[in-house]
Amino acid sequence: MQKFSCKEHIGYALDMFVAEQKDFPIMDELPTDVDELCEYCEEKAAYIVSSK
């Protein structure tokens, strides 16, 4: 699974990922041409959190 997050919510996104997945999250910067929204607000996402 993967989560998209803005800069403001990345800490929250990482915490939620660990709580839900019981796995170590991998955080990557989202390429600027990828148009995804943060899962926790209406901002454009800056990071993607996923497991390997």
Which spans of this chain sit near Zn ion (rule: CB under 5 A)?
Answer: 6, 9, 38, 40-41, 43
Closest to Zn ion by CB, 31 vs 46, is: 46
Nearest CA among 10, 11, 2, 12 for reference residue 47? 10
**Tokens at residue 40, please?**
């926790």
- Of the candidates 34, 37, 18, the one whose C-alpha atom is nearest the C-alpha of residue 26 is 18
Going by the DSSP 8-state scheme, the letter that residue 9 receives in this structure is T
Minimum Å distance from CB 26 to Zn ion? 19
CB of 30 to Zn ion, least distance (A): 12
Query: Taking the complex as a whole, how short is the minimal distance between the CB of residue 5 and Zn ion, in angstroms?
Result: 6
